[in-house]
């Protein structure tokens, strides 16, 4: 019986202490502040072919300060700057000029490669430095196929129309021969 009373008393004391420790945890900076440079999700902007344009938006966990200057990089190389939009994001436009060169935004020439590439935007947020990242792929197989494909066709396809014209000339010649035979028979 003494053990039961001791266990009940211990349970009551634990229930009394638990709300107090929760209150201390809430006032001691829990949850920890957001680190705007870590924990960003990487957005997949898809795949483009050489000659196509990639369009998207980079949105960091801690939004950029609207109107602030944001530094852009593509595959680690400088890609100029962009002004953050009102919603704290940065618009991205990348034209794949070739399998090794692209034009980012306004236009700034940047290096790209066949396969996987990355774009990073770095700037300021209300909570400190922040960045947003995206990946995209460049499909170079289409460019290689076009380069090794057949010769470009420049001109009209006259074979079909020439055969049609010959058929009509032959039909006309048969009508003329048929009408002459009728006249001779009379």
Place of tokens 């002459």: 180
Domain with residue 76: its CATH number is 2.60.40
Same domain for 104 and 16: no
Assess if residue 169 is contained within a domain.
no
Same domain for 68 and 105: yes
Assess if residue 185 is contained within a domain.
no
Assess if residue 81 is contained within a domain.
yes
Assess if residue 49 is contained within a domain.
yes
Same domain for 54 and 19: no
Query: Can you give the pLDDT at residue 86?
Result: 93
Dump pLDDT digits (tens) for 81-98: 999 999 999 999 999 999
Query: Using CA atoms in the order 105, 111, 115, 121, what is the torsion angle rounded to 10 degrees?
Result: -50
Mean pLDDT score of the chain, rounded to an integer? Answer: 78
Residue 23: which pLDDT band, with cuts at 50, 70 and 90? very low
Dump pLDDT digits (tens) for 32-74: 555 676 656 788 999 999 999 989 999 888 889 999 999 999 9
Contact 29, 59 (CB under 8 A): no
Query: Can you give the pLDDT at residue 111?
Result: 92
Q: How many domains does the chain have?
A: 2
Structural domain range at position 144: 42-148
Same domain for 95 and 7: no
Return d(Cα 171, Cα 110) in angstroms, integer: 64
- Which of 88, 94, 33 lies closest to 60, judged by CA? 88
Assess if residue 155 is contained within a domain.
no
Contact 130, 123 (CB under 8 A): yes
Assess if residue 160 is contained within a domain.
no
Same domain for 67 and 14: no
């Amino acid at each position: 019986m003494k053990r039961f009373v001791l266990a009940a008393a211990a349970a009551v004391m634990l229930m009394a202490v638990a709300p107090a420790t929760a209150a201390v945890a809430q006032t001691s900076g829990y949850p920890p502040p957001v680190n705007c440079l870590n924990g960003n999700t990487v957005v997949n902007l898809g795949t483009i072919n050489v000659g196509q344009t990639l369009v998207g938006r980079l949105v960091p966990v801690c939004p950029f300060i609207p109107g602030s200057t944001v530094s852009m990089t593509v595959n680690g190389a400088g890609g100029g700057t962009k002004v953050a939009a009102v919603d704290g994001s940065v618009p991205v436009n990348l034209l794949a000029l070739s399998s090794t060169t692209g034009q980012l935004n306004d236009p700034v020439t940047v290096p790209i490669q066949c396969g996987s590439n990355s774009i990073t935007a770095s700037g300021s947020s209300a909570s400190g430095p922040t960045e947003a990242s995206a990946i995209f792929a460049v499909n170079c197989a289409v460019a290689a196929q076009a380069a090794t494909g057949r010769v470009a066709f420049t001109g009209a396809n006259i074979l079909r129309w020439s055969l049609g014209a010959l058929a009509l000339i032959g039909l006309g010649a048969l009508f003329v021969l048929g009408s002459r035979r009728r006249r001779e028979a009379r």
